[in-house]
């Protein structure tokens, strides 16, 4: 059984793969299968917004810093995040401490 390809632009199921790109004959939208795969490895904030290296984020939850008595308050601004090998975690510095934050507790901006 063949997979049905759904056009992300118009939801048509007439889209087909031409060997390089997916093409939708209904709205002429073309997209690459590699792009979609890459995107899943990009860290995303709690809303699903892709994060970029160097972005500023805000905590959406009080977080206790492991191995210390420090609790970072919800609403704390974190500047200049750095990516790690894990798309669910980012490196950053808060109040002079180098810590790793889960992206699910972050909001971009």
* Interacting residue ranges for Zn ion, rule: CB under 5 A: 7, 9-10, 12, 24, 26-27, 29
Q: Is 18 helix (H, G, I), strand (E, B) or coil?
A: coil
- Residue 35 CB, shortest distance to Zn ion, in Å, is 16
What's the closest the beta carbon of residue 3 comes to Zn ion, in angstroms?
16
Instruction: Tell me if residue 73 falls in helix, strand or coil.
Output: coil
Shorter beta-carbon distance to Zn ion: residue 8 or 75: 8
Distance CA 77, CA 94 (A): 8
Nearest approach in angstroms of CB 27 to Zn ion is 3
Q: Between 33 and 75, name the residue whose CB sits nearer to Zn ion.
A: 33
Nearest to 106 by CA among 67, 60, 63: 60
Task: Identify the three-state secondary structure at position 76.
Answer: coil
Nearest to Zn ion of 7, 57 (CB atom): 7
């Amino acid at each position: 059984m063949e997979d049905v390809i759904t056009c992300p632009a118009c939801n048509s199921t007439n889209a087909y793969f031409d060997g390089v790109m997916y093409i939708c004959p209904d709205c002429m939208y073309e997209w690459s299968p590699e792009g979609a795969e890459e995107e899943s490895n990009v860290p995303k904030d709690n809303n699903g917004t892709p994060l970029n290296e160097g972005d500023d984020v805000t905590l959406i939850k009080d977080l206790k810093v492991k191995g210390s008595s420090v609790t970072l308050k919800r609403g704390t601004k974190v500047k200049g995040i750095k990516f790690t090998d894990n798309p669910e975690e980012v490196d950053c510095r808060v109040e002079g401490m180098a810590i790793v934050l889960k992206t699910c507790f972050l909001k971009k901006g």
